[in-house]
């Protein structure tokens, strides 16, 4: 750990000569997706209010230990997810069509917007969802009878569903997500690249996600390194079935 | 099972790039990720005609074919990683000299403009992928590719690369991809390797 901190300090002390390109590069996504006109010019009198607000993590950063470590949660929520909200707000400040929509509306119409909306509204929603469908040990619950019945009908067993889900996550090459989706009142496993999700109008499998796991390397690298399969297998221990049951009921209405 | 492909030796010791890239990172990146691509490809080509082809032939043959995605991804990632290790060297980086320096000035204006463009490509590649300095005809270009994609399937000759999969920098830099990229450009780029890759 000390070794790693030292590296960052060293990089920090290096003279930054790429002022313009790298000033905002702590949030690389923000940089890549920022509109050409600086947001500040539209609202010179006062800083633009953040249209989209990132919610605090709904539990302590160490609440998912030992499956997901505290440091990973701090970076994941505090830097990666935050950067996506920041970038989305930067886009919204320069684009009223983005600012007036909800994140869900943006996803449903994502093909009509620049790639920055796809990447950052996607990332904002995916992580909000991800935090909610995990929970501390005393709040995880178990699958409802209705959900179990649907899982058995569509996969044969809970284990078969988990196997298919874990395979979907393991075989998503590069960065992305794996989902359990309600589609036409049935459950299917799907995976999406980068920050895409099944709510997007461009998704191969469109539907309502009720479970989703993040297989970007930042989600697991500090603890699991190259062992994505082990992360996927362990991850089921922290699923918030109470929330999944609720989302399942809602999607089946 | 025959194993036509093997993991090439690292061109330096696993701690030779410290403190810019730690031995711990190399241990996973070379010892696990790169090795796994080799093991996977050997399994995928076992008993097939593909086993008789060179790595470059397999990459060109499988590029863009949906039913060969597994072969392409593993073959290209073997190639990309070998090229990445050779793109780095201890006490490298900074402004090059000689033929490549003149080509950089001609293509980008000056070294600083090249550096900005190279860093920008690496930082803005969304998700997993690579940033490249390539030769196209008699000029140089910066390109970025996603996941396992390689420039040479599109007729561009790779000269240098930076890996921006998170596994390349997460242990040492966490989410700070821009710091990783600038550190590599300033301190580790192997310009002799780039010059050697130039076609006459």
Q: Domain residues for B172?
A: 98-197
- Does B22 contact A3 at a Cβ distance shorter than 8 Å? yes
Q: Tell me, what's the pLDDT at B3?
A: 87
pLDDT above 70 as % of chain B: 99
For residue A16, give how far its alpha carbon lies from the nearest alpha carbon of chain B (Å). Answer: 8
Q: What whole-number distance in Å separates Cα of residue A150 and Cα of residue B9?
A: 51
Query: If you average pLDDT over residues B177-194, what whole number do you get?
Result: 98
For residue B198, give how far its alpha carbon lies from the nearest alpha carbon of chain A (Å). Answer: 27
Residues B116 and B38 in one domain: no
Counted across chains A and B, CB pairs separated by less than 8 A come out at: 117
* CATH node for A70-251: 3.55.40.20
For residue B200, give how far its alpha carbon lies from the nearest alpha carbon of chain A (Å). Answer: 32
Instruction: Take residue A163 and report the two structure tokens written for it.
Output: 């196997």
Mean residue pLDDT of chain B comes to 97
Q: Is the pLDDT of residue A8 over 80?
A: no
- Residue A70: how many CB atoms within 10 A of its CB? 15
Do the domain assignments include residue B13? no
Q: What whole-number distance in Å separates Cα of residue A42 and Cα of residue B94?
A: 39
Secondary structure (3-state) at B7? coil
Residues B186 and B134 in one domain: yes
Total domains in chain B come to 2
Radius of gyration of chain A (CA): 19
- Does A194 contact B127 at a Cβ distance shorter than 8 Å? yes
Instruction: Take residue B151 and report the two structure tokens written for it.
Output: 């420039």
Query: How would DSSP label each residue in B52-111?
Result: GS-HHHHHHHHTT-GGGHHHHHHHHHHHHHHHHHHHB-TT--S---HHHHHHHHHHHSSH
**Residues B49-70: tens digit of each pLDDT:** 999 999 999 999 999 999 999 9
Of A174, A166, A183, A154, give the one whose Cα is nearest residue A235.
A166
Do the domain assignments include residue B182? yes
B 138-197 near A (Cβ less than 8 A): 146-148, 165-167, 170-180, 182-183, 186
Residues B49 and B136 in one domain: no
- Does A221 contact B170 at a Cβ distance shorter than 8 Å? yes
| Identity of the residue in B119, B128, B173 whose CB atom sits nearest the CB atom of A11 | B173
Q: Tell me, what's the pLDDT at A47?
A: 58
Q: Rounded to 5 degrees, what are φ and ψ at A246?
A: -60, -45
Of B24, B169, B21, give the one whose Cα is nearest residue B90.
B21
Q: What whole-number distance in Å separates Cα of residue A190 and Cα of residue A196?
A: 11
Contact A18, B116 (CB under 8 A): yes
Do the domain assignments include residue B50? yes
Do the domain assignments include residue B1? no
Residues B102 and B180 in one domain: yes
| Residues of chain B found within 8 Å of residue A218, distances taken between Cβ atoms | 166, 170, 175
Listed in sequence order, the residues at least 6 apart from A145 whose beta carbon sits closer than 8 Å to its beta carbon are none
Q: Is the pLDDT of residue A37 over 80?
A: no
Task: Label residue B161 left, alpha or beta by phi (over 0 means left) and psi (-120 to 50 means alpha).
Answer: beta
Q: Tell me, what's the pLDDT at A50?
A: 83
Angle at B104 between CA B56 and CA B96, to 5 degrees: 90
Q: How would you classify the pairing of strands B129-136 and A176-183?
A: unpaired
- Does A12 contact B177 at a Cβ distance shorter than 8 Å? no
CATH, residue B62:
1.10.287.990
Q: What whole-number distance in Å separates Cα of residue A241 and Cα of residue A125?
A: 19
Instruction: Take residue A105 and report the two structure tokens written for it.
Output: 């509306």
| Residues of chain B found within 8 Å of residue A22, distances taken between Cβ atoms | 119, 123, 178, 182
- Does B123 contact A32 at a Cβ distance shorter than 8 Å? yes
For residue A102, give how far its alpha carbon lies from the nearest alpha carbon of chain B (Å). Answer: 23
Query: What is the band of A26 on the pLDDT scale with cuts at 50, 70, 90?
Result: very low
Radius of gyration of chain B (CA): 17
Q: Is the pLDDT of residue B200 over 80?
A: no
Residues B123 and B191 in one domain: yes
Do the domain assignments include residue B178? yes
Nearest CA in chain B to A119: B126
- Residue B169: how many CB atoms within 10 A of its CB? 26
Do the domain assignments include residue B45? yes
Q: Tell me, what's the pLDDT at B10?
A: 98
Residues B27 and B52 in one domain: yes
Q: Tell me, what's the pLDDT at B2?
A: 74
| Helix H or strand E segment including A88 | helix A82-93
Q: Which residues of A206-245 are buried (b: 16+ CB within 10 A; e: fewer)?
A: ebbbbbbbbbbbbbbbbbbbbebeebbbbbeebbbbebbb
CA distances, B46 to each of B5, B62, B68, B183, B195 (Å): 11, 16, 14, 40, 36
Instruction: Take residue A129 and report the two structure tokens written for it.
Output: 């969802």
Do the domain assignments include residue B8? no
Query: If you average pLDDT over residues B180-190, what whole number do you get?
Result: 98
CATH, residue B161:
3.55.40.20
Do the domain assignments include residue B62? yes
């Amino acid at each position: 750990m000390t070794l790693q901190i030292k590296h960052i300090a060293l990089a920090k002390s290096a003279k930054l000569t790429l002022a313009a390109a790298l000033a905002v590069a702590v949030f690389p996504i923000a940089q890549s997706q920022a509109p050409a006109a600086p947001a500040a010019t539209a609202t010179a009198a006062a800083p633009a209010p953040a249209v989209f607000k990132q919610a605090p993590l709904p539990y302590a950063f160490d609440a998912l230990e030992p499956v997901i470590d505290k440091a990973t949660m701090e970076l994941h929520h505090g830097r990666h997810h935050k950067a996506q909200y920041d970038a989305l707000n930067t886009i919204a400040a320069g684009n009223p069509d983005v600012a007036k929509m909800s994140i869900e509306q943006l996803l449903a119409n994502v093909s009509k917007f620049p790639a920055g909306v796809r990447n950052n509204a996607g990332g904002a929603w995916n992580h909000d969802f991800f935090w909610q469908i995990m929970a501390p040990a005393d709040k995880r619950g178990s699958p409802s009878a209705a959900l179990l019945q649907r899982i058995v009908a569509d996969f044969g067993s809970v284990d078969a569903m988990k196997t298919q889900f874990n395979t979907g996550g393991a075989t998503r090459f590069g960065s992305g997500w794996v989902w359990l989706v309600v589609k036409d009142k049935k459950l299917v496993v799907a995976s999406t690249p980068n920050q895409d999700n099944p709510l997007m109008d461009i998704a191969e499998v469109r539907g309502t996600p009720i479970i989703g796991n993040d297989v970007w390397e930042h989600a697991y690298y500090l603890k699991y390194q190259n062992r994505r399969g082990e992360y996927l297998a362990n991850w089921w221990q922290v699923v918030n079935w109470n929330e999944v049951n609720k989302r399942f009921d809602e999607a089946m209405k | 099972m025959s194993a036509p492909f093997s993991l090439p030796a690292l061109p330096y010791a696993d701690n030779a790039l410290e403190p810019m890239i730690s031995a711990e990172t190399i241990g996973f990146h070379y010892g696990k990720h790169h090795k796994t691509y080799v093991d996977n490809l050997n399994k995928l080509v076992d008993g097939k005609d593909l086993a008789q082809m060179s790595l470059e032939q397999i990459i060109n043959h499988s590029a863009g074919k949906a039913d060969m995605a597994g072969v392409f991804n593993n073959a290209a990632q073997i190639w990309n990683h070998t090229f990445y290790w050779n793109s780095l060297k201890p006490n490298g980086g900074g402004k090059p000299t000689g033929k490549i320096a003149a080509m950089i000035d001609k293509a980008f204006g000056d070294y600083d403009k090249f550096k900005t463009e190279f860093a920008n490509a690496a930082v803005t590649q969304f998700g997993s992928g690579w940033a490249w300095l390539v030769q196209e005809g008699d000029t140089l270009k910066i390109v970025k590719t996603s996941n396992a994609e390689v420039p040479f399937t599109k007729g561009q000759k790779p000269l240098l690369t930076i890996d921006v999969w998170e596994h390349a920098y997460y242990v040492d830099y966490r989410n700070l991809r821009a710091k990783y990229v600038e550190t590599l450009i300033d301190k580790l780029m192997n310009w002799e390797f780039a010059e050697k890759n130039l076609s006459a």
